[in-house]
Amino acid sequence: MEKYEVKNIYGKKGSLSVRVPGSKSITNRALLTAALAEGESLLDGILFSDDTRYFMGCLKALGIKTEISERQCTARIFGCGGKLPVKTAEINVGSAGTAARFITALLAVCDGEFFIDSSDQMKKRPMKPLLDSLTSLGAEIEYKGAEGFFPFVIKGKNPDISSVEVDIDKSSQFLSALLIVSPLFRNGADIAVKGTHGMNYVKITADMMADFGVKTERTVDGDFKTAPNQHYIGRYYEVEADLSAACYFYAMAAVLGISVTVKNVFKNTVQGDIGFIKVLEEMGCTAEETEGGICLTGPKDGRLKGVEADLSGFSDQTLTLAAIAPYASSPVTIKGIAHIRGQECDRINAITQNLNAMGVKTEETEDGVKIYPSEPKPCEVETFNDHRVAMSFAVTGLRADGIVIKNPSCCKKTFENYFDVFNSCLNALSSTSMPNADTVEAIKELENGEGFRFEGSTEELFSSINTD
Question: Which position has the higher pLDDT, 468 or 238?
Answer: 238
Q: Alpha carbon 69 to chain centroid distance? A: 21
Q: What is the mean pLDDT of residues 71-97?
A: 96
Closest residue by Cα to residue 286 from 316, 257, 309: 257
Question: Which position has the higher pLDDT, 437 or 164?
Answer: 164
Question: Which position has the higher pLDDT, 87 or 444?
Answer: 87
pLDDT at 442 over 50: no
Tens of pLDDT, residues 208-220: 999 999 999 999 9
- Residue 434 confidence (pLDDT): 36
pLDDT band at 197 (very low <50, low <70, confident <90, very high): confident
pLDDT at 443 over 50: no
Question: Which position has the higher pLDDT, 331 or 466?
Answer: 331
**Does residue 435 have a cis bond before it (omega within 30 degrees)?**
no
Catalytic residue positions?
316
Q: What is the mean pLDDT of residues 176-202?
A: 94
Closest residue by Cα to residue 354 from 399, 314, 390, 308: 390
pLDDT above 70 as % of the chain: 92
Q: What is the mean pLDDT of residues 297-303?
A: 92
- Residue 307 confidence (pLDDT): 98
pLDDT at 337 over 50: yes
Tens of pLDDT, residues 248-273: 999 999 999 999 999 999 999 989 99
- Residue 366 confidence (pLDDT): 86
Question: What does the mean pLDDT of the chain come to?
Answer: 91
How many whole angstroms separate alpha carbon 40 and alpha carbon 236? 9
Question: Which position has the higher pLDDT, 436 or 113?
Answer: 113
Q: What is the mean pLDDT of residues 399-426?
A: 95
- Residue 1 confidence (pLDDT): 73
pLDDT at 455 over 80: no
Q: Report the amino acid identity of residue 6.
A: V
